[in-house]
Structure 1
Amino acid sequence: MKFSKLLCGALALVGLMASPVWAKDWTSVRIGSEGAYPPFNFFNASGELVGFDIEIGQALCAKMEADCTFVAQDWDGMIPALLSGKYDVILASMSITEERKQQVAFTEPYYRAALTFAGPADSTITDLSPEALEDLSIGALSASTQAEYLQANFPESDVRLYRSQDEVNLDLVSGRLDLQVSDLLPMLDWVTNSEDGKCCKLVGEPIMDPKYAGEGTGMALRQEDQELRQKLNEALAAIVADGTYQAINAKYFPINIYDMK
């Protein structure tokens, strides 16, 4: 008799745990971003997290009718913090790669990407072969696809990795680097629109190899959160269709980065 009561109680508990009461409705979503990658995500003079990524996130949340909060996180810890539950989505210009897909799920790309070299404005470097860049110092953001590209293709160069893109830029400005490799769009913005970036220029052709440029830039989620992934994909399609995406794009870039080839 006691066993039957215990069994019934256990089954009732299992039924309760499986009920919709325990399902996430995603009316509240926490979004992780870095805050050190202008113009995509950065802190303004008032200490607010702003940029293209943030505005896209706000537009997506409006479409989903979700209350969203943004959480700043250093790049190196971005995926571990997602997996530990610090936030629900990474919206921080993260390239979609096979390696990352082993850990997280991605939405459809919300923009396309390429890599680029950058160097001092007076640099005479034109040959970007591994042989030509032997012994030169080249910087990149740590734990990034740019870092993977350098480590795989320039083993004889002095590859230096940094915790933030701002630190890479600073060492290029100060002459402690000969070159750096970065994502094309933020680097184009930096050399074109910033005071510090006047020191420098893009070097060579864009690097489009999908092994390093990725399949595009997506939002990362825990693999089990497929319902949220679907909601984000639907919201992304909606803001592209109604012109919201293009309006945000135009504030930051002279080209359409959604389907950039």
Structure 2
Amino acid sequence: MSSTRTTKRRRAFLAAGSVLTMTALAACSSVDDGGSGGGAGTTVETLKDAGTVNVAFNGEKPYSYKEGDELTGATIALDTEVFGELGVAEVEGTQTEWNSLIPGLNAGRYDTVSAGMSILPERCEQAAFAEPTIMYTTAFLVPEGNPEKLTDWQSVEDSGLTIAVTSGAIEDGYAQQTGVKTITVGDSTDGLNAVVSGRADAFALTGISIRALADSTDEPVEATDAFVATIDGVSQVGAGAEVFRKGDTELLEAYNEKLTPILEDKDKWLEIMEPFGFTEAEYPPPGLTADMLCEGDLAKISDELGLDS
């Protein structure tokens, strides 16, 4: 990566950090049995003293999930790297339904959300996002042979088909905007079951998740090719990141500081993410920031970063 791009990204990160109001933060004890120092005002020192950070996860492969008793996934591997650099030895997890991730965070049940959550304006009103770490595409899990020949979001609009979506996920929003008939499911396993049972004609989710889901099952299903959804003529530029409470400014800024060198080094990013199926297609472009995505002007983002060229 050229020094010009590196400087551009670093300046973008510093600019994003400068708009956060610094507050006096005090270490807090956990609010309930689900927390580990998770009250508002959590600092790096709080977590270092505890020796662990408790992150919420949704159980969605390949982002964050459990294999037996082991917490794993791409965002967990990234957190292990970043929090390790901050002197926090262990990453522990609390599995939580998707729609409860941010409410549980703000209630102090855990310290952050590590679920590859898309940075959306409405979510930015409720919580604070780290800089973008994963770019998103969309795909469908369909019955083997793709009998409805689904290829992109336009192929389900006005089709009369029923699409399974994770409640509160970005694909749920696409469906509401375009009038697509849906059923909501709690997680990817429920989405798979909806397609296998015939309750849904397809399950819409991020491309990386659909590929992982199709590869992990012996059921007669397959993944369509991934695509960038176009809604009302606008490419839906999407990226996910770690989520923090708005009051945890010091922790967010410390996380971003250690995240920046990884985002500026594609090889390092791939070293962490590639074992979970991520490729250069999911690597965030230089100049993309959480602030840009929180503003929500996707057409402007595509134009400024040349993502449609």
Normalising by structure 2, we get a TM-score of 0.68
Query: Quick check: 1:40–1:54 contact (8 Å CA) kept in 2?
Result: yes
**Cα distance change on mapping 1:251 and 1:21 into 2, 3 Å:** closer
Match for residue 104 of structure 1?
A: 127
Give percent identity, aligned residues only. 21
Tell me whether 1:253 sits opposite 2:238 in the alignment: no
SS state at 2:228 partner: strand
Q: Cα deviations across residues 79-114 of structure 1 (Å, max 9, x unaligned)?
A: 111001111211111000001011111110111112
SS state at 1:66 partner: coil
How far apart are 1:167 and its partner, in Å?
Answer: 0.2
Match for residue 79 of structure 2?
A: 57
SS state at 1:223 partner: coil
Match for residue 225 of structure 1?
A: 248
Query: Quick check: 2:132–2:284 contact (8 Å CA) kept in 1?
Result: no
In the alignment, the residues of structure 1 paired with residue 211 and residue 42 of structure 2 have an alpha-carbon distance, to the nearest angstrom, of: 40
In the alignment, the residues of structure 1 paired with residue 207 and residue 225 of structure 2 have an alpha-carbon distance, to the nearest angstrom, of: 11
How far apart are 1:215 and its partner, in Å?
Answer: 4.1
SS state at 1:189 partner: helix
How far apart are 1:205 and its partner, in Å?
Answer: 3.6
Query: Quick check: 1:35–1:49 contact (8 Å CA) kept in 2?
Result: no
Match for residue 70 of structure 1?
A: 93
Query: Quick check: 2:270–2:278 contact (8 Å CA) kept in 1?
Result: no
Q: Cα deviations across residues 198-227 of structure 1 (Å, max 9, x unaligned)?
A: 522316743266989564101111112111
Q: CA RMSD in A?
A: 2.8
Query: Quick check: 1:162–1:168 contact (8 Å CA) kept in 2?
Result: yes
In the alignment, the residues of structure 1 paired with residue 175 and residue 27 of structure 2 have an alpha-carbon distance, to the nearest angstrom, of: 49
SS state at 1:125 partner: coil
Point out the more displaced range, 97-106 or 23-32: 23-32
* AA of the residue aligned to 2:157: P
Larger CA Rg, structure 1 vs 2: 1
In the alignment, the residues of structure 2 paired with residue 21 and residue 141 of structure 1 have an alpha-carbon distance, to the nearest angstrom, of: 35
**Cα distance change on mapping 1:198 and 1:232 into 2, 3 Å:** farther
Structure 1, unaligned stretches of length 5 or more?
Answer: 1-17
Query: Quick check: 1:173–1:200 contact (8 Å CA) kept in 2?
Result: no
How far apart are 1:19 and its partner, in Å?
Answer: 9.4
Query: Quick check: 1:106–1:220 contact (8 Å CA) kept in 2?
Result: yes
Tell me whether 1:173 sits opposite 2:196 in the alignment: yes
In the alignment, the residues of structure 1 paired with residue 235 and residue 191 of structure 2 have an alpha-carbon distance, to the nearest angstrom, of: 19
Tell me whether 1:79 sits opposite 2:106 in the alignment: no
Match for residue 183 of structure 2?
A: 160
Match for residue 157 of structure 2?
A: 130
Query: Quick check: 1:75–1:163 contact (8 Å CA) kept in 2?
Result: yes
Number of paired residues?
238
Structure 2, unaligned stretches of length 5 or more?
Answer: 1-23, 29-40, 286-306
SS state at 2:155 partner: coil
In the alignment, the residues of structure 2 paired with residue 110 and residue 151 of structure 1 have an alpha-carbon distance, to the nearest angstrom, of: 26
**Cα distance change on mapping 1:109 and 1:137 into 2, 3 Å:** same
Match for residue 175 of structure 2?
A: 150
Match for residue 4 of structure 1?
A: none
In the alignment, the residues of structure 2 paired with residue 26 and residue 250 of structure 1 have an alpha-carbon distance, to the nearest angstrom, of: 28
Query: Quick check: 1:53–1:92 contact (8 Å CA) kept in 2?
Result: yes
Match for residue 14 of structure 1?
A: none
SS state at 1:91 partner: strand
In the alignment, the residues of structure 2 paired with residue 241 and residue 228 of structure 1 have an alpha-carbon distance, to the nearest angstrom, of: 20
**Cα distance change on mapping 1:238 and 1:179 into 2, 3 Å:** same
Match for residue 44 of structure 2?
A: 26
* AA of the residue aligned to 2:121: E
In the alignment, the residues of structure 1 paired with residue 25 and residue 256 of structure 2 have an alpha-carbon distance, to the nearest angstrom, of: 26
In the alignment, the residues of structure 2 paired with residue 48 and residue 212 of structure 1 have an alpha-carbon distance, to the nearest angstrom, of: 37
